[in-house]
Amino acid sequence: MGKIYNSAAEALDGLLFDGMLIAAGGFGLCGIPENLISAIKDAGTKDLTVASNNAGVDNFGLGVLLQTRQVKKMISSYVGENDEFMRQYLSGELELEFNPQGTLAERMRSAGCGIPGFYTKTGVGTVIAEGKEVKKFNGQDYILEEGIIADLSIVKAWKADDTGNLVFRKTARNFNPPAAMCGKVCVVEVEEIVPRGSIDPDHIHLPGIYVHRIIQGEHEKRIEQRTVRQREEA
């Protein structure tokens, strides 16, 4: 069965439902599935729980779903660039489950490997550990973290072939592969679809077995924070 679809809306057709859990790739504004996010906004799917490293920024990335009140809960590591996120959270409109970045990535990756949970020292003795099982290994405490199994994964890659083998670029590789792995269905948007066999097998970052649907899209190269110094007068 062909994996390539003509648009984000077509690729998401039949997959969206209210109250679902979505795993979204990206790191800051790098490697975010912006076309798929826009299609979810247009579909009006609501009461979403979204597992993602961050919540985008105002007016871009996952921030657009926050503005339309389609997200009820975020499972995230960093949310410091989004004023609307902060407003909704502080007013009690939005639930937040904080995860250390490595823990969040491993919760996705382990679920994709069929591992239901794992023990980690990260978060021991902090609010992260509240309500979680604690077990000693070699005399030290570890907390149990459960894998995240998402109803849908939405990710962005640099290249794909028609079977779904993926190549990511640089920082976009941080969270996109584990996010792709943990979804019951994975939809990917890419900058380029290349012929089958043209990707060196050693250069494939995620095999096509994890990928169900693919679109090729146009992407905006935004800079999350631009810092420049004033020009010195001669």
- For every residue of 198-230, DSSP letters joined together read -S-GGG-SB-GGG--EEEE-------S----PP
* CATH fold of the domain at 17-114+149-216: Glutaconate Coenzyme A-transferase (3.40.1080)
Mean pLDDT of 94-98: 94
- Full-model pTM: 0.91
Cα separation, 58 vs 67, in Å, equals: 8
Q: What is the pLDDT of residue 224?
A: 67
Q: What is the pLDDT of residues 157-185, one digit of tens each?
A: 999 999 999 999 999 999 999 999 999 99
Q: Give the C-alpha distances (Å, rounded to integers) separating 58 from 53, 206, 226.
A: 16, 30, 15
Q: What backbone torsions phi and psi does residue 52 show, to the nearest 5 degrees?
A: -160, 150
Partners of 27 in the β-ladder = 30
Q: What is the pLDDT of residue 74?
A: 96
Determine contact, residues 206/162, Cβ cutoff 8 Å. no
Count Cβ atoms below 10 Å from residue 37 Cβ, excluding itself. 25
pLDDT value at 134 more than 90: yes
Q: What is the pLDDT of residue 105?
A: 97
Cα separation, 137 vs 123, in Å, equals: 15
Per-residue confidence at 6, pLDDT binned at 50, 70, 90?
very high
pLDDT value at 32 more than 90: yes
Per-residue confidence at 234, pLDDT binned at 50, 70, 90?
low
Lowest mean pLDDT across 40-44, 81-85, 206-210: 81-85
pLDDT value at 16 more than 80: yes
Mean pLDDT of the chain, nearest integer? 93
Cα separation, 8 vs 216, in Å, equals: 9
Answer with the residue of higher pLDDT: 28 or 131: 131
Per-residue confidence at 1, pLDDT binned at 50, 70, 90?
low
Q: What is the pLDDT of residue 10?
A: 97
Mean pLDDT of 64-93: 92
Q: Tokens in use for 100?
A: 């250390």
pLDDT value at 9 more than 70: yes
Residue 131 CB contacts under 8 Å (≥ 6 apart), including other chains? none
Burial of residue 197 (CB within 10 Å: 0-12, 13-18, 19+) is: exposed
